[in-house]
């Protein structure tokens, strides 16, 4: 196992810079997920760790050794891709053992490691099958098995679950997490799916347009997003945002440009007359007897909870409740935020304001 240290790493394709100075320190044994919208540079960064792409500037170190000029096969990493890239003419056993065979490992060692990996992944009964006779989930497991037999210092995953249906994705998510708890191999995992990131990672790196927006544990990112981008990206349904201005510290009040008015808790440190964005997570917007008036637009029951989209002045907000409530589009609701859970951001820079 090994740490992975990424220091001021940049990547250019010709004149275009797609990674603008990325710093990430991944501890030995950690499960870190790179998450962000499509095109933000996740795969590029992962492929640079793997050595499949060169580093334009900065350093990447694995286990304390700078590997910028080290060939992929000498980096002691194993990568699992979205397209499993199994050899169709080889059995599961041959697919899993192939890299060790290539490395001229003794036959008994190959056999033993393949058997161990097959046992970990529940593939013992499928070793003689060919990939075309496997389900998507089984193929995914073989691709992971192929990585496991190499006993690398670092696992690299690039959207490994994207080709699976929703139910299987949830199952494989749990399996990969368990696998990590068992093997404790340092893992860097790329996904665009924030739920995947939240549920699996020790720490999440949120990326956007080639920069790191925030690094933290899942709940740190959820509870204290550093900026509007992270606040909006993490969480589903997303955080409600209301643009407006604050009153004075003596009389902290939020006046939304859409018409919403909120008394803020006394003593809340605010800078008067700054354009702000107030953020409220849907579960922190409660239905009350008397509160801010909002008109119901859409009601979406999911069973465990109900999402209610409502108009608040010119803004639309969503609140979630676990109660069974009987409301219809057009009805008026009274809402009240949980004041201890409000988020404030600078409207211009998007940065979190202390609150
Ligand atoms: P992600 O994996 O987050 O979706 P990528 O790392 O694949 O994003 O791509 C990041 C950016 O780099 C994109 O704008 C993409 O178009 C660009 N890019 C990726 N590979 C190349 C390449 N070989 N040549 C030029 N541009 C590339
Ligand atoms: Mg990608």
Q: In whole numbers, what is the pLDDT of the chain averaged over residues? A: 93
d(CA 24, CA 32): 10
Based on the fold, state whether residues 181 and 310 are members of the same structural domain.
no
pLDDT digits (tens, 9 = 90+) for 22-42: 999 999 999 999 999 999 999
- 353 domain residue, yes or no: no
Based on the fold, state whether residues 214 and 297 are members of the same structural domain.
no
- Atom index in ligand 1 nearest the CA of residue 158 equals 2
CB 7 within 8 A of CB 200: no
Based on the fold, state whether residues 200 and 292 are members of the same structural domain.
no
Mean predicted confidence (pLDDT) in 143-153: 93
What is this structure's pTM? 0.94
pLDDT for position 18: 98
* Residue whose entry in the numeric block shows the structure tokens 């990672």: 201
What CATH number does residue 109 fall under? 3.40.50.300
Please choose, from the candidates 48, 38, 39, 35, the residue with its C-alpha nearest in 3D space to the C-alpha of residue 5.
48
CB 154 within 8 A of CB 77: yes
The alpha carbon of 144 and the centre of ligand 2 are apart by a number of angstroms equal to 18
Based on the fold, state whether residues 194 and 263 are members of the same structural domain.
no
Based on the fold, state whether residues 225 and 85 are members of the same structural domain.
yes
Which of 168, 199, 229 represents a domain boundary (last residue)?
Answer: 229
- 355 domain residue, yes or no: no
In the predicted structure, residue 7 carries a pLDDT above the cut 70? yes
Q: Whose CA is nearest to atom 14 of ligand 1?
A: 39
Instruction: Classify the C-alpha dihedral 227-232-235-237 as positive or negative.
Output: positive
pLDDT digits (tens, 9 = 90+) for 42-82: 999 999 999 999 999 999 999 999 999 999 999 999 999 88
Q: Whose CA is nearest to atom 5 of ligand 1?
A: 41
Please choose, from the candidates 259, 238, 276, the residue with its C-alpha nearest in 3D space to the C-alpha of residue 311.
259
Mean predicted confidence (pLDDT) in 116-132: 93
Query: Which residues are paired to 254 by β-bridges?
Result: 246, 262
In the predicted structure, residue 121 carries a pLDDT above the cut 80? yes
Q: Whose CA is nearest to atom 19 of ligand 1?
A: 44
pLDDT band for position 351 (cuts 50, 70, 90): very high
Based on the fold, state whether residues 244 and 264 are members of the same structural domain.
yes
- Atom index in ligand 1 nearest the CA of residue 40 equals 3
Based on the fold, state whether residues 179 and 261 are members of the same structural domain.
no
Binding site membership of 42 for ligand 1 (Cβ less than 6 Å): yes
Q: How many domains does the chain have?
A: 2
* Ion ligand 2 neighbours, Cβ < 5 Å: 43
Based on the fold, state whether residues 261 and 146 are members of the same structural domain.
no
Based on the fold, state whether residues 299 and 241 are members of the same structural domain.
yes
Residue 12 burial (CB count, 10 A): 12
Binding site membership of 225 for ligand 1 (Cβ less than 6 Å): no
- 31 domain residue, yes or no: yes
- 110 domain residue, yes or no: yes
Tokens representing 15? 């004149």
Q: Whose CA is nearest to atom 20 of ligand 1?
A: 44
Based on the fold, state whether residues 74 and 168 are members of the same structural domain.
yes
Q: Of the ranges 4-8, 269-273, 340-344, which one carries the lowest mean pLDDT score? A: 269-273
- 351 domain residue, yes or no: no
- Atom index in ligand 1 nearest the CA of residue 53 equals 23
Mean predicted confidence (pLDDT) in 253-263: 85
pLDDT for position 168: 85
pLDDT for position 14: 95
DSSP label at residue 235? S
pLDDT for position 196: 96
Q: Whose CA is nearest to atom 13 of ligand 1?
A: 39
In the predicted structure, residue 219 carries a pLDDT above the cut 80? yes
In the predicted structure, residue 248 carries a pLDDT above the cut 80? no
Ligand nearest to the CA of 159: 2
* Residue whose entry in the numeric block shows the structure tokens 């990112």: 221
pLDDT digits (tens, 9 = 90+) for 166-182: 888 898 899 899 999 99
The alpha carbon of 279 and the centre of ligand 1 are apart by a number of angstroms equal to 31
- 45 domain residue, yes or no: yes
pLDDT for position 165: 86
pLDDT for position 278: 94
pLDDT for position 164: 84
pLDDT for position 83: 82
pLDDT digits (tens, 9 = 90+) for 74-115: 999 999 988 888 999 999 999 999 999 988 999 999 999 999
The alpha carbon of 18 and the centre of ligand 1 are apart by a number of angstroms equal to 7
Which of 229, 254, 283 represents a domain boundary (last residue)?
Answer: 229
* Residue whose entry in the numeric block shows the structure tokens 């199994």: 86
Binding site membership of 39 for ligand 1 (Cβ less than 6 Å): yes
CB 346 within 8 A of CB 353: yes
Tell me which residue range forms the domain holding 300: 237-346
Binding site membership of 35 for ligand 1 (Cβ less than 6 Å): no
pLDDT for position 270: 67
In the predicted structure, residue 349 carries a pLDDT above the cut 80? yes
DSSP label at residue 267? T
- Strand order through the sheet with 240-246: 261-263, 253-256, 240-246, 275-280, 343-346, 352-353
**In a mutational test of the pocket of ligand 1, which residue from 14, 38, 41, 160 has the highest number of ligand atoms less than 8 Å from its CB?**
41
- Atom index in ligand 1 nearest the CA of residue 44 equals 6
In the predicted structure, residue 267 carries a pLDDT above the cut 70? no
pLDDT for position 145: 92
pLDDT digits (tens, 9 = 90+) for 268-304: 666 767 789 999 999 999 999 998 999 999 999 999 9
Q: Whose CA is nearest to atom 24 of ligand 1?
A: 13
What CATH number does residue 284 fall under? 2.40.50.140
Q: Omega before 352 cis (within 30°)? A: no
pLDDT for position 181: 95
Which of 229, 263, 283 represents a domain boundary (last residue)?
Answer: 229
């Amino acid at each position: 196992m090994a740490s992975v240290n990424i220091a001021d790493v940049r990547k250019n394709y010709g004149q275009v810079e797609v990674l603008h100075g990325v710093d990430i320190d991944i501890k030995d044994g950690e499960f870190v997920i790179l998450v962000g919208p499509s095109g933000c540079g996740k795969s590029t960064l992962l492929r640079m760790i793997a050595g499949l792409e060169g580093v334009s500037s900065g350093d990447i170190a694995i286990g304390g050794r700078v590997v910028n000029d080290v060939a992929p096969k000498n980096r002691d990493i194993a990568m699992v891709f979205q397209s499993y890239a199994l050899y169709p003419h080889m059995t599961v056993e041959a697919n899993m053992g192939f890299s060790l065979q290539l490395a001229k490992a003794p036959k008994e060692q190959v056999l033993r490691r393949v058997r161990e990996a097959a046992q970990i992944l529940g593939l013992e009964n499928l070793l003689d099958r060919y990939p075309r006779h496997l389900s998507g989930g089984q193929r995914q497991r073989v691709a992971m098995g192929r990585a496991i037999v190499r006993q690398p210092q670092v696992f690299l995953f690039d959207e490994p679950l994207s080709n699976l249906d929703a139910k299987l994705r949830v199952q494989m998510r749990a399996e990969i997490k368990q696998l990590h708890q068992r093997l404790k191999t340092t893992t860097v995992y790329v996904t665009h799916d924030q739920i995947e990131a939240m549920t699996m990672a020790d720490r999440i790196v949120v990326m956007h347009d080639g920069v790191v927006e925030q690094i933290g544990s899942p709940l740190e990112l959820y509870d204290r997003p550093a900026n509007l981008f992270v606040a909006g990206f993490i969480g589903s349904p997303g955080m409600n945002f209301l643009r407006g201005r604050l009153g004075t510290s003596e009389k902290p009040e939020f006046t939304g440009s859409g018409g919403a008015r909120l008394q803020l808790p006394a003593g809340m440190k605010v800078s008067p007359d700054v354009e702000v964005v107030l953020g409220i997570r849907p579960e922190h917007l409660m239905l009350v007897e008397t509160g801010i008036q909002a008109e119901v637009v859409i009601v979406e029951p999911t069973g465990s909870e109900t999402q209610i989209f409502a108009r608040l002045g010119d803004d639309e907000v969503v609140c979630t409740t676990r109660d069974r409530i009987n409301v219809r589009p057009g009805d008026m609701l009274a809402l009240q935020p949980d004041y201890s859970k409000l988020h404030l951001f600078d409207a211009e820079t998007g940065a979190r304001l202390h609150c």
